[in-house]
């Protein structure tokens, strides 16, 4: 682990990118936890309108992030694109902060902020380029540590805003904080980032090259990978939907318990992400993802046997330890598939996030209807097993082709 930190410290641009990822993560962490509370509680949006807005915003984020990620592979310098997208985030978040109303909230959330959220993909793609001279295992370890900066932002920002806005009538101030964060990212991109060492592909921005990249996304082999990884990572989202309901509705826990446990999980994830970076130098990336998925699925079964609120505090430790791998390793998995095209590889992450949300939402809807919240925890294990089976299938087929 120390050598991975040394490799980051030896690359000033990677240090800057890591800090930018942290600040950009702060913008996301400042607003996402309060999205529904603000839209419905503070602005008076209906449940149906809010649900439709979240779907539209998710689709827009995926489409924009994937398209710009692919196009960025044809650019030798991503700095201006990062700055422009970050400024779009500043405008979107700032509009909600300065002009809080339903029309502004809808316009900014659905059409403007998704451009700002595309910065994540470009920052991770830029970080990948900075590790191109390292061995595959060293690069994977470094990228895992860089990913932990985003998790750290989710530990820091919600807690800070909770303290600062505790006496406020609403959480609109969170959007002002997010606007400030994205503005810092834009400034850093223009003033601190150096031109990328890797030159863009000459045909990378042509229509033909763009269509070729899209065809890579829909190849049968890649579709299996995406669905399998969505099932694996979807377990973490399903767990976040289940345990607060069991805790509060079935075991008599409070919302304060939910907040403490969520913060505890996020805090524990960070050191285990660093541990995952160390393990990558000894074990294969796919093996670590599979083991993490299986252990996380087994941890979810514990939800079904919980009989007191303190049980969820205990389950937070194995849950966070195994979730660390599921949160930090998939991005390297997809980037390794296209080592010379970091934008395309990173473009799989918003797709994976979208599919993971869909899989977990569908599983929750079916499970909660037929089996109750505790019974749905068993479906989490089934989801993990199905994702692992898909990964083993596609990786086995790929290995046979190479042989």
Let me know: does 70 contact 198? Beta carbons within 8 Å: no
CA atoms within 13 A on the CB side of 250: 18
> What pLDDT is stored for residue 201 in this prediction?
44
Q: Rounded to an integer, what distance in angstroms lies between the CA atom of residue 94 and that of residue 403?
A: 54
Q: What is the mean pLDDT of residues 380-395?
A: 95
| Cβ partners under 8 Å of residue 261, min gap 6 | 243, 247, 312, 313, 316
How large a percentage of the chain has pLDDT more than 90? 44
* Lowest-confidence region among 16-30, 190-204, 275-289: 190-204
300-310 burial code (b ≥16 CB/10 A, e <16)? bebbbebeebe
* Residue 371 DSSP one-character state: T
Let me know: does 190 contact 77? Beta carbons within 8 Å: no
Q: Rounded to an integer, what distance in angstroms lies between the CA atom of residue 287 and that of residue 276?
A: 12
> What pLDDT is stored for residue 227 in this prediction?
94
Tell whether the torsion through CA atoms of 144, 149, 154 and 155 is positive or negative: positive
Asked whether residue 239 carries a pLDDT value surpassing 50, the answer given is: yes
pTM of the model: 0.82
Q: ∠147-293-35 over CA atoms, to 5°? A: 55
Q: Rounded to an integer, what distance in angstroms lies between the CA atom of residue 351 and that of residue 358?
A: 11
Tens digits of residue pLDDT in 160-212:
887 788 777 788 999 999 999 999 999 999 999 987 665 444 444 456 667 77
Tens digits of residue pLDDT in 38-67:
888 889 988 788 878 888 888 999 999 888
Tens digits of residue pLDDT in 337-378:
888 788 888 888 888 888 988 898 889 889 988 999 899 999
Tens digits of residue pLDDT in 340-349:
788 888 888 8
Tens digits of residue pLDDT in 256-269:
787 788 878 888 99
Q: Rounded to an integer, what distance in angstroms lies between the CA atom of residue 200 and that of residue 212?
A: 16
Residue reference for tokens 């290995």: 399
* Lowest-confidence region among 208-212, 302-306, 387-391: 208-212
More confident residue, 196 or 118: 118
């Amino acid at each position: 682990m120390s050598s991975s930190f040394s490799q980051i410290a030896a690359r000033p641009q990677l240090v800057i990118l890591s800090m930018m990822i942290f600040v950009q993560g702060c913008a996301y962490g400042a607003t996402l936890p309060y999205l529904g509370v603000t839209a419905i509680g503070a602005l008076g949006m209906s449940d149906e309108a809010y649900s439709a807005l979240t779907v539209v915003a998710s689709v827009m984020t995926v489409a924009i992030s994937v398209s710009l990620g692919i196009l960025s592979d044809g650019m030798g310098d991503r700095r201006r694109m990062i700055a422009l997208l970050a400024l779009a985030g500043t405008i979107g978040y700032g509009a909600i902060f300065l002009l809080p109303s339903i029309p502004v909230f809808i316009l900014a959330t659905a059409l403007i902020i998704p451009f700002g959220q595309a910065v994540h993909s470009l920052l991770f793609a830029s970080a990948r380029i900075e590790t191109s001279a390292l061995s595959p295992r060293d690069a994977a370890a470094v990228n895992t540590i860089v990913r932990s900066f985003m998790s750290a932002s989710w530990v820091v920002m919600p807690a800070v805003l909770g303290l600062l806005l505790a006496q406020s009538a609403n959480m609109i101030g969170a959007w002002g904080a997010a606007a400030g964060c994205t503005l810092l990212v834009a400034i850093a991109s223009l003033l601190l980032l150096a031109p990328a060492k890797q030159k863009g592909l000459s045909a990378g921005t042509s229509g033909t090259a763009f269509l070729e990249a899209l065809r890579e996304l829909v190849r049968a082999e890649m579709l299996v990978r995406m669905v399998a990884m969505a099932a694996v990572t979807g377990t973490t989202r399903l767990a976040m939907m289940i345990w607060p309901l069991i805790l509060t509705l079935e075991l008599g826990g409070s919302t304060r318990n939910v907040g403490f446990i969520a913060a505890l999980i996020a805090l524990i994830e960070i050191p285990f992400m660093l541990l995952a970076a160390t393990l990558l130098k000894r074990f294969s990336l796919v093996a670590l993802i599979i083991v993490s998925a299986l252990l996380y699925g087994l941890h979810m079964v514990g939800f079904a046997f919980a009989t007191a609120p303190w049980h969820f505090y205990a389950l937070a430790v194995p849950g966070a330890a195994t979730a660390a791998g599921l949160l930090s390793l998939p991005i390297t998995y997809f980037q390794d598939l296209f080592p010379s095209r970091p934008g395309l590889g990173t473009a799989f992450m918003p797709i994976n996030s979208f599919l993971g949300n869909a899989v977990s939402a569908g599983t929750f809807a079916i499970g909660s209807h037929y089996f109750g919240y505790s019974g749905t925890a068993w479906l989490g294990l089934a989801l993990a097993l199905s994702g692992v089976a898909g990964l083993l299938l596609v990786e086995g087929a790929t290995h046979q082709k190479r042989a």
